[in-house]
A and B are shown apart, each in its own frame.
Chain A
Amino acid sequence: MTDDQLSAAIQSATSSVFSTLLNLEVSAGTAFQQTDPQPIDGVMALLGFTGNWVGTGIFYCQEKLACQLSSTMLMSPISEVNNDVLDGVGELANMIMGNLKDSLEPLIGGLGMSVPTVVYGRNFQTRSTMHRNWLVVHFTVGEDTFEIRVCLVAQG
């Protein structure tokens, strides 16, 4: 699987989920490779992949956007991060990574997927022990941005 194929699958899965679930159009930036990121603030949902390829998929955004997205999902105003926001971001990430998984399986074989883990905080850092680069795609929705970050490595 090439970076271009992975990038296209990320963009397609993300656009599809935002359009169907939230009725929002997103625009994707150019994908790039990055080592483990610097400390950040916000809400992050992580899901693990297993199979012939293993790795992690991440959805990350600032808390303002996390609240907006969850408000749209629940059709109810939410102004601060609470359990509904964490749950909403987890479910959004679950759908994006599930769609991504379905797109990638014809290329790399069957994948298992974990349930999401959601992190909210300030000045936190993530690190993959696989010591590989992440493929990162930034998206714009309205005036806000979020990112999808995926690290997948062939086993053996």
Chain B
Amino acid sequence: MPSINVLIVDDSAVMRKILERSLRQSHVVIGAVYEAADGAEALEKLKENSAVQVIFSDVNMPNMDGLEFLRQLRALEKRKGVPVVMVTTEGTESKVMEALGLGAAGYIRKPFTAEQMQETLTKLFP
């Protein structure tokens, strides 16, 4: 299986490390992992980097939150098809529906188990 390049968007450096570790422990071969601390930084990284194949993004972030990031990503012609999985502490139905309505490919609630991460990745990369 070819490796998958990932962009992790979270204002917590610790959470970015936990997510990367969890991804590397999954069945998917992870290639390069890029990081951004908020939605605005993530958009800049995506404009200059076409290697990203999947994005894991927090929702509640300063500067530009995950939902606004999702909105603006969909307006980026060349990158709008990249699947985005929202990873957040907020699991309320309204937030989930809003993210899915904006085109999120999935939704994981923090803290997540290895099984939940595995299940999400299997849907994206069977």
Give A residues with C-beta under 8 Å from B.
Answer: 17, 20-21, 70, 73-75, 83-84, 87-88, 90-91, 94-95, 97-99, 101-102, 105, 110, 113, 115
With a cutoff of 8 Å between Cβ atoms, the chain A residues found around residue B31 in the complex are none
Q: Is B18 an interface residue (CB 8 A)?
A: yes
Number of residues from B at the complex interface, CB < 8 A = 21
Cβ of B41 within 8 Å of any chain A Cβ, yes or no, is no
| Consensus secondary structure, chain B interface | loop
Q: Do residues A74 and B14 form an inter-chain contact, with CB atoms below 8 A?
A: yes
Q: How many A-B residue pairs have CB under 8 A?
A: 57
Q: Which residues does chain A contribute within 8 Å of B110, judged by CB atoms?
A: 21, 94-95, 98
* Known A17-B111, A95-B110: A73·B61 in contact at CB below 8 Å: no
Q: Verify A91–B112 contact, CB threshold 8 A.
A: no
Given the interface pairs A20-B113, A21-B111, A75-B21, the reply to whether A102 lies near B14 with Cβ below 8 Å is no
The answer on a CB contact under 8 Å between B12 and A95 is no
Cβ contacts under 8 Å, B91 to chain A: 98-99, 102
